Structure 1
Amino acid sequence: IELKFHYTVHTSLDVVEEKVSAVGKVIVDQRELYLGLLYPTEDYKVYGYVTNSKVKFVIVVDSSNTSLRDNEIRSMFRKLHNSFTDVMCNPFYNPGDPIQSKVFDSMVSSMMVQTC
């Protein structure tokens, strides 16, 4: 199942690149890009988000979860982006290192629990 997620996420990153290059030509001054549904499969829906610094976030949701609306997915991305920004702004974080933040981990875990 983990290999299936890797394939799904990598495939969706290709879609992210296509959307970013297409949108980037039209919208130059936008701080964040919610890309919406990227890659629906029979089992999962993959959503994408790109910041103005080209950091890409991907959320994979079970297709059977019909209770999640687009604005809720967008809100999840905003929370993820804000928490990620907090980690990056930490003076003790070295860019490029793996994120080792209990606050970040608990925020991501709480998002996962909410969607299950």
Structure 2
Amino acid sequence: MVHTSLDVVDEKVSAMGKALVDQRELYLGLLYPTEDYKVYGYVTNSKVKFVMVVDSSNAALRDNEIRSMFRKLHNSYTDVMCNPFYTPGDRIQSRAFDSMVTSMMVQVC
């Protein structure tokens, strides 16, 4: 399901490049809905892709809340990448990043 969603991400990113779309809009929206799950996507300016899978039965999550969660994730990811002691490509070992992701998961449940 996630691999299929990545194909949709690539399609949307290439379509954004061709069209005159606001390049600051990084949220790709709903990528792949199924009976059980909804898959949302986000791509950064440096082409890092974030994919979020949520339970379809969770009606409390609206599109603007998903967008906000992606922005928080992106900001936290940027903080990790800006750390001079982090080596790109290594596993992210940041307590702040882990706690932010955990709090997002608790919020969704």
TM-score (norm 1): 0.89
Alignment partner of 1:31: what SS?
coil
Cα distance between partner residues in 1 of 2:89 and 2:36: 32
Counting only pairs closer than 5 Å after superposition, residues 29-108 of structure 1 correspond to structure 2 as 30-108=23-101
State the shift of 1:108 in Å. 0.4
More helix by share: 1
* Unpaired segments ≥5 residues, structure 2: none
Classify the secondary structure of the residue corresponding to 1:35: strand
- Letter of the 2:43 counterpart: V
2:95 & 2:108 partners in 1: Cα distance? 20
Distance 2:87 2:25 in 1: 23
Any gaps of 5 or more consecutive residues in structure 1? 1-7
Identity between Structure 1 and Structure 2 (%): 86
Q: Which runs of 4+ in 1 moved over 2 A?
A: none
